[in-house]
């Protein structure tokens, strides 16, 4: 919010606009039950930014800037990206967001599937995707076919109330060598029905 106020002063933005945006950010953070139209637009914009060819490209760019290349750790984390892509349209808060997510999410999904196939075909990493139903939600779990020690992996899923959201935890562990890998991500916020109203394409 400090940045918003700073830019508002620097560029002479209308104070009413600044106040509206500030309230919308507050609604987003508190996850209020009846968000304003602006809040719904901001929610969709934040989520649409992660979808499509550009969205998944940005995901890998950001990972690279953090020093994370393509590795087992990064491939496990694709569980969250695939799951978000699967449910993206159902999470959107506006009609425009729904339509855009319906177009962009399949690009994200297919890109990741193609990447995993290329890694398998080239003998680099043998990771695949399994659709797993957990707490009435389909998760696209990315994991290797076996542990590095060649033993079978076991999987455990559970939920934890985090600071910002209800988190899904996915753990893969090997009973033979005792290696473990855990990821966590926010549960997608599915909406009961397709969004309607005042923010259309």
**Residue range 82-105: mean pLDDT, rounded:** 95
| pLDDT at residue number 190 | 86
Report pLDDT digits (tens) over 41-93.
888 998 899 899 899 998 889 888 888 889 999 999 999 999 999 999 999 99
SS3 call for 132? strand
Nearest to 93 by CA among 146, 50, 55, 40: 40
| pLDDT at residue number 39 | 85
User: Where are the domains positioned within the chain?
Assistant: 1-34, 35-186
Give the whole-angstrom CA distance, residue 191 versus residue 185.
18
Longest Cα pair distance anywhere in the chain, in angstroms? 64
Q: Please tell me the pTM assigned to this model.
A: 0.83
3-state secondary structure 55-68: HHHHHHHHHHHCCC
| pLDDT at residue number 138 | 96
| pLDDT at residue number 34 | 75
Q: Cβ(143)–Cβ(132) under 8 Å? A: no
Report pLDDT digits (tens) over 171-199.
999 999 999 999 999 999 888 666 666 55
Give the whole-angstrom CA distance, residue 185 versus residue 158.
11
Cβ contacts of residue 61 below 8 Å, gap of 6+?
Answer: none
Q: What is the CA radius of gyration of the chain?
A: 19
Report pLDDT digits (tens) over 12-25.
666 777 777 777 77
Say which residue the tokens 């002479």 belong to: 12
Average pLDDT across the chain, whole number: 87
- Domain range 35-186, its CATH number among 1.20.120.350, 1.20.58.1910, 3.20.20.100, 1.10.10.60: 1.20.58.1910
């Amino acid at each position: 919010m400090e940045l918003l106020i700073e830019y508002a002063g620097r560029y002479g933005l209308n104070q009413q606009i600044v106040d509206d945006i500030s309230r919308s950010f507050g609604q987003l953070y508190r996850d209020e039950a009846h968000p304003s139209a602006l809040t719904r637009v901001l929610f969709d914009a934040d989520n649409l930014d992660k979808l499509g060819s550009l969205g998944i490209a940005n995901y890998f760019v950001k990972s690279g800037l953090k020093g994370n290349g393509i590795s087992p750790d990064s491939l496990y984390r694709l569980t969250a990206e695939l799951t978000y892509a699967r449910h993206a349209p159902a999470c959107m808060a506006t009609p425009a967001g729904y339509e855009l997510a319906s177009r962009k999410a399949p690009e994200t999904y297919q890109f990741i599937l193609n990447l995993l196939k290329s890694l398998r075909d080239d003998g680099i990493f043998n990771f695949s995707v399994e659709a797993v139903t957990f707490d009435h939600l389909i998760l696209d779990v990315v994991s290797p076919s076996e542990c590095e020690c060649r033993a079978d992996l076991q999987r455990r899923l559970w939920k934890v109330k985090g600071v910002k959201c209800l988190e899904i935890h996915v753990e893969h562990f090997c009973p033979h060598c005792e290696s473990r890998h855990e990821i966590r991500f926010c549960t997608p916020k599915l909406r009961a029905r397709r969004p309607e109203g005042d923010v259309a394409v």
